Chains A and B, each alone.
Chain A
Amino acid sequence: MFKIVKKQYLANNIYLMDVLAPRVAKSCFPGQFVIVKMDEKGERIPLTICDYDRQAGTVTIVFQSVGASTKIMAEYEEGESFRDFVGPLGCRSELIDEEPEELKAKKILFVAGGVGTAPVYPQVKWMKENGYDVDVIIGARNKDLIILVEEMKQWAENVYVCTDDGSLGFKGNVNDQIKDLVNNQGKSYDLVVAIGPLIMMKFVSILTKELGIKTIVSMNPVMVDGTGMCGACRLTVGGKVKFACVDGPEFDGHLVDFDESMKRQQMYKTEEGREVLKLQEGDTHHHGGCGCGGN
């Protein structure tokens, strides 16, 4: 059993939990994920590792209650336990294995959309702790969906907040914000790391391709085992089939077939889940949609 030692409500049905899982905490790195199975009859739910404390043996998860399973998860309280909590799964972020001098020379922009802000957080923190300064954009449809701004400011050089309706920060989606930084504020970047709804990552990748900036995205397809055994998580990257749980979840955004992944993600969506997805991604599955953080 894996005990929930802390629970916190962030915003808009987004919750943060610290879970006691010493083996995971000891060996995990930014970019990896866990699979949580709440009880005997629950499903295996993949969630990104959002922080970890090796000493205390805890791992932080941040999740949005969107459908049947994540709604039940939101009802778990401090002191209660999950039956299963396995990880770390997937590969750690490529940045961690890069040569320090090369990394030092790079100007990196993290682009976080909605609940995707959570997985960006440990990467930004790791960068700062290892002596690298990075910029972060946090974007969403409106101010109620913006999370972790203060936390992020502790570690990032600059944090830019943007909302579609202008209720907080810059008015516009994350792509508008990127263009503003690059075109109007004289910023230049060598690498973009974009994590958020698929539709956001797709359009960020299109823009950064135009701008000639290498881009890494974190994919979240449907999964079952998370160890390479079922193939549910397959996606196409550069014309090749990859399993996100073992080959990813991070991939080169300029090579990912996002349209295929968006169709595959619909496969098991419940009606409830679809509604939330629609809210997050707009009515994208019928006519393209605009960009990010939803329409």
Chain B
Amino acid sequence: MAVDVLKRIPVREQEPQVRAKNFEEVCLGYNQEEAMDEATRCLQCKNAKCIQGCPVSIDIPSFIGKVKEGDIAEAYQIISKYSALPAVCGRVCPQESQCESKCIRGIKGEPVSIGKLERFVADWARENGIKPNAPEATNGIKVAVIGSGPAGLTCAGDLAKAGYEVTIFEALHEAGGVLSYGIPEFRLPKQTVVASEIENVKSLGVKIETNVVIGKSTTIDELLQEEGFSAVFVGSGAGLPKFMNIPGENANGVFSANEYLTRNNLMKAFDESYATPIKGGNKVAVVGGGNVAMDAARTALRLGAEVHIIYRRGESELPARVEEVHHAKEEGIIFDLLTNPKEIIVNEDGWVSGIKVVDMELGEPDASGRRSPVEKAGSEHIIDVDTVIMSLGTSPNPLISSTTDGLEVNKWQCIMADEANGATSKEGVFAGGDAVTGAATVILAMGAGKAAAKGIEEFLKK
């Protein structure tokens, strides 16, 4: 097939009308032929700008070069040097603002589909049974990792490869962090992708102990002093949901996006054979405009509801990934932009019956350069809904910082850690990921896990 160098090889997706009714993955990914064709579009730049756009600096031209030759196994080995979770990142990285935003091809035409190629390579490796190599022997030094999200898994994997005996402690009954409880099945399949990436980390010798809440079941000080761990990495994420504090917010039928998504993803409420219930709703308002809001909206749609996204700024300000907004629109999500909730209307049984909103218009740009919305006088009206999902962002859980002497946090409860090596104010304790930065991205959390693994090695060699 002749490849138009300015255009991407299109990726196959489920039809919008079909996928709006199921929880199967939306994007079907490239096959080998498509991947090899797309790989020919890469110019193999000497001074590859795309690498600068990737937070973990994957050697993108080298792995794409191998895809072009059809040597997928070698492409996988190259990616593996930099990333522990390529099948995840290939799917959920905001590529358009990272690696792909810097690609030379993007100047005249469409950038190379780096993310889709990465995903293809990782899926191919999994389907062909390729696993990372476990170390021959361990050095007997024990390191504890708190939280099994991308930060914890990456840090644990790197330390295990270097010979350390690593145990991950996870509060929930399943490993994976947001990858398991937050991001929905139709974007990130749990069994095929997430579970097998976790298996890879385990095959390096990492132990995962679920059902352990650090700060409650045991503490960091006990891990260091009584359980024989020489260092601790905290990758506990930013799981605490925010609410708006408007009237009616405690009514039946108002959920945080975390609750709605956890019931559906981690507890599999969409599957009748699982015991956890969910009130899907008939007409749902999702408040917010980020990735989490898109995920909640598209989940509610699949559970059978008419769904409105209520966001106080305009379309170009939506913080969600472009691809997610595009998919949501295709599926029939209604966007009520420049609209802000004032109150949730509650019926006499205590259930939501509507949401009172006000129209907004964009004013002058604020300090961050974003034009801040202001209310239009007299524009209040009520949208009839029976369910409201609050998706306003999250902050770190204070459970760990409040039970660990000498671990400093900033005013947002984020743990203070050195970006270069993850070191915190407490000797032997390192941290990274959303617990340090506040809600961010998978790849940044992985980068922080990697940096901390190096930091821990240096600390333990002293």
Contacts and interface: CB of A to CB of B under 8 A. Distances in A.
A228 B252 contact: no
Interface in A246-285: 246, 260, 263-264, 266-268
B216 interface: yes
B276 interface: yes
Nearest to A24: B217
Contacts of A87: 213, 216-217
A72 to B, nearest CB: 8
Contacts of A231: 241, 243, 255-256, 258-259
B241 A230 contact: yes
Contacts of A37: 173
B262 interface: yes
Interface string A30-70: 00000001000111100000000000000000000000110
Main secondary structure of the interface of B (DSSP, over half): loop
A227 B397 contact: yes
Task: Determine the interface band of chain A, counting residues with CB < 8 A from chain B.
Answer: 35 or more
A23 B275 contact: no
A263 B212 contact: no
Contacts of A24: 217
Contact of A41 (B241, B255, B273): B273
B425 interface: no
Interface in B209-262: 210-213, 216-218, 239-241, 243, 245, 249-253, 255-256, 258-259, 262
A236 B245 CA distance: 12
Contacts of B240: 228-229
B276 A43 contact: yes
Nearest to A69: B275
A230 B250 contact: no
Nearest to B261: A230
A121 interface: no
B329 interface: no
Nearest to B215: A227
A209 interface: no
Given A86-B171, A86-B217, A229 B350 contact: no
Interface string A214-251: 00000000001101111110111000010000100000
Contacts of A230: 241, 256, 258-259, 262
B210 A264 contact: no
B139 to A, nearest CB: 26
A264 B350 contact: yes
A288 B171 CA distance: 39
Contacts of A236: 250
8 contacts: A27-B217, A43-B277, A44-B276, A68-B275, A87-B216, A88-B217, A227-B239, A230-B259
Interface of B: 171-173, 181, 210-213, 216-218, 239-241, 243, 245, 249-253, 255-256, 258-259, 262-263, 267-268, 273-277, 279, 349-350, 397, 399
